[in-house]
């Protein structure tokens, strides 16, 4: 049976697009963002044993939301003539590909030890006091839980690595015996 992969599931604007490019994730470590007509979101997730960090923002119109400006003006209407529909679909595909590349370029990927340091730095520096979506205390709690989970994951990964090295040592020793 296929295991269901975790989703961001906060319904923030462009979340599906971000998840399509960077996912699927093995685990969501933290997510900060609330759905609204404008705002921002950021998260850390685990994928294939590495941490991925990404953040984005959105506006309420194409004048303050670059992704909407790139994708929205080429919306295909049901009554567009075929040649206009093809032109808009090609432009939308080009804009979508550029946005996908931007997401990949601006995301950060790191090993678990670096991810622990990253979150510890978020705690040390402290969250922005002017965030309208979460209080400073809520963000600190989110980051503290993330740090603890990452430390557990890093410890488990280190234990697995030590076991593999020990197993390889045992195999090498057995091969040396006559």
In this prediction, residue 1 carries a pLDDT of: 46
pLDDT at 43: 93
Tell the burial category of 163 from Cβ atoms under 10 Å away from its Cβ (0-12, 13-18, 19+): exposed
Is the pLDDT at 22 greater than 90, yes or no? yes
Q: 144: how many CB neighbours lie within 10 A of its CB? A: 15
Bridge partners of 31? 43
pLDDT at 164: 72
For residue 19, pLDDT over 80 is answered with yes
Give the pLDDT score at 128.
Answer: 64
Taking residues 56-72, what's their average pLDDT?
80
* Mean pLDDT to the nearest integer, 108-125: 91
Q: 98 and 92 in contact (C-beta within 8 Å)?
A: no
Q: How many CA atoms lie within 13 A of 159 on its CB side?
A: 6
For residue 47, the 8-state DSSP code is: E
pLDDT value, residue 127: 66
CA 22 to CA 129: how far, in whole Å?
A: 29
Average pLDDT over residues 69-87: 79
Task: Say which range, 37-41, 59-63, 67-71, 74-78, has the weakest mean pLDDT.
Answer: 74-78
Question: What is residue 173's predicted lDDT score, i.e. its pLDDT?
Answer: 67
57 vs 18, 34, 66, 77, 103, CA distance in Å? 11, 11, 10, 27, 12
Tell me the average pLDDT across 123-130: 70
* Cβ partners under 8 Å of residue 167, min gap 6: none
Per-chain mean pLDDT for the chain: 84
């Amino acid at each position: 049976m296929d295991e269901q992969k975790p989703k961001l599931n906060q319904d923030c604007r462009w979340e599906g697009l971000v998840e399509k490019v960077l996912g699927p994730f093995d685990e969501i470590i933290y997510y900060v963002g609330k759905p609204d007509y404008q705002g921002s979101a950021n998260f850390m997730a685990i994928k294939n044993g590495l941490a991925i960090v990404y953040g984005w923002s959105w506006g309420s119109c194409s004048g303050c939301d670059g992704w909407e400006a790139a994708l929205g003006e080429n919306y295909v209407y049901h009554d567009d003539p075929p040649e206009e529909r093809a032109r808009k679909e090609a432009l939308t595909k080009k804009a979508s590909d550029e946005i996908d590349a931007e997401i990949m370029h601006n995301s950060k990927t790191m090993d678990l030890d670096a991810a622990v340091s990253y979150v510890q730095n978020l705690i040390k520096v402290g969250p922005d006091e002017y965030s309208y979506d979460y209080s400073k205390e809520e963000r600190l709690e989110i980051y503290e839980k993330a740090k603890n989970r990452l430390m557990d994951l890093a410890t488990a990964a280190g234990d697995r690595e030590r076991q593999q090295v020990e197993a390889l040592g045992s195999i090498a020793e057995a091969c040396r015996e006559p």
